[in-house]
């Protein structure tokens, strides 16, 4: 059976945060473990180690590059499927807003390669929306102040729009388990504002009867590495797109209630 030992990513992430604090030369203000290692359901064969780093405004480019080099090298010792880290400033974290800019993003790719992207190379990263949301809701503090003190809230409409777009991405590029279980956990947020892992989302959908039981059960087996991953089939695509349509409709309704300046 797949390893479910959350102590592995936590211990690794804590050591990494200490090394980053030194590399930053005192600029690190907070480091948070998020994703499945914080929400539960971490599976070594499937799950990344997800970390958000918040540094002081005005940090020098040399320090950012040093962090990037450290993270790229650290992936070799990372438990699970690989390392994914975003580095943002205090201002970027405190007031999350489109296009969700950042200083650095490092992620494990196929063939043991690391993708290192600097914020000067792209316009932003919408995935930061959920990184911020999860850190505020369930992030584990690795260094510095608690996430609630550094990371600002993201509006419900923006979260719903992001979740809908992520489901469409999953249908086109992800596995069946990715598409189906993301749809399940999106329903948890839609119906009750709950932020949960893929596994918890799937289990909740089964308990509530809010999706095709056979499909969700198969997706859970794949996520737990008890069955081989596979592309989304017709049933998975239909389920994910149906949930995505509900999310998009709820986003429009939510944002219609806000002043124009708050619709980020």
**pLDDT tens digit sequence for 115-163:** 999 999 999 999 999 999 999 999 999 999 999 999 999 999 999 999 9
pLDDT computed for residue 1 by the predictor:
29
**Residues 133 and 172 occupy one common structural domain:** no
* Contacts by 202-210, CB closer than 8 A, 24 or more apart: 210/184
- Statement: residue 176 has pLDDT above 50: yes
- Report the pLDDT value the prediction gives residue 257, as an integer from 0 to 100: 64
Q: What is the mean pLDDT of residues 92-107?
A: 96
Average pLDDT over residues 21-31: 94
Q: Is 94 a domain residue?
A: yes
Q: 150, 168, 203 — which closes off a domain?
A: 150
> Do 56 and 29 form a contact (C-beta atoms < 8 A)?
yes
Q: How far apart are CA 125 and CA 101, in angstroms?
A: 6
Give the pLDDT score at 53.
Answer: 98
Start-to-end CA span in the chain (Å): 42
This prediction has a pTM of 0.92
Give me the sign of the Cα torsion angle 12, 2, 40, 193. positive
Q: With bands split at pLDDT 50, 70 and 90, how would you rate the model's confidence at 261?
A: low
Backbone φ, ψ for residue 52 (5° rounding): -110, 130
Average pLDDT, the chain: 92
Q: What is the largest CA-CA distance in the chain?
A: 52
Q: Is residue 50 over pLDDT 70? A: yes
14, 99: one domain: yes
User: Is residue 185 a part of any domain in this protein?
Assistant: yes
pLDDT above 50 (res 3): no
Among 88, 116, 150, the domain-final residue is: 150
Query: Is 27 in the same domain as 123?
Result: yes
Residue 50 lies in domain: 7-150
Residues 143 and 176 in one domain: no
Distances (CA, A) of 76 to 43, 114, 129, 214: 18, 10, 27, 37
Is 138 in the same domain as 51?
A: yes
Domain assignment present for residue 219? The answer is yes
> Side-chain half-sphere of 31: how many Cα atoms within 13 Å?
24
> Which DSSP category does 108 fall into?
E
Distance CA(208)–CA(75), nearest Å, equals 38
Domain co-membership, 108 together with 193: no
Does the pLDDT at position 62 exceed 80?
A: yes
Domain count along the chain = 2
Phi-psi category of residue 34: left, alpha or beta, with phi > 0 → left and psi -120 to 50 → alpha: beta
Helix 213-223 to helix 198-208 angle (10° resolution) is: 160
Instruction: Summarize the confidence of residues 197-221 as an average pLDDT.
Output: 97
Per the CB < 8 A criterion, the answer to whether 156 and 254 are in contact is yes
How many CB atoms neighbour CB 218 within 10 A?
Answer: 21
């Amino acid at each position: 059976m797949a390893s479910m030992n959350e102590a592995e990513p936590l211990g690794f992430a804590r050591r990494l945060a200490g090394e980053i604090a030194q590399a930053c030369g005192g600029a690190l203000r907070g480091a948070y473990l998020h994703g499945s290692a914080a929400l539960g359901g971490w599976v070594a064969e499937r799950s990344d180690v997800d970390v958000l780093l918040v540094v002081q405004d005005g940090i020098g480019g040399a320090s950012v590059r040093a962090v990037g080099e450290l993270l790229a090298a650290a992936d070799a010792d990372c438990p699970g499927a690989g390392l994914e880290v975003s580095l943002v400033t205090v201002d970027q974290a405190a007031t999350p807003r489109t296009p969700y800019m950042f200083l650095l993003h490092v992620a494990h790719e196929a063939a043991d390669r690391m993708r290192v992207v600097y914020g000067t190379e792209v316009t932003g990263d919408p995935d930061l929306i959920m990184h911020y949301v999860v850190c505020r809701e369930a992030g584990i503090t690795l260094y510095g102040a608690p996430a609630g003190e550094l990371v600002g809230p993201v509006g419900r409409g923006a979260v719903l729009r992001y979740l809908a777009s992520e489901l469409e991405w999953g249908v086109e590029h992800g596995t069946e388990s990715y598409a189906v279980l993301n749809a399940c956990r999106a329903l948890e947020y839609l119906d009750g504002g709950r932020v949960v892992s893929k596994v918890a989302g799937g289990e909740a959908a089964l308990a509530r009867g809010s999706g095709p039981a056979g499909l969700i059960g198969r997706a859970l087996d794949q996520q737990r590495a008890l069955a081989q991953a596979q592309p989304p089939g017709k049933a998975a695509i239909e389920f994910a797109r149906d949930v995505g349509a509900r999310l998009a409709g709820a986003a429009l309704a939510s944002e219609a209630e806000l002043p124009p300046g708050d619709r980020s």
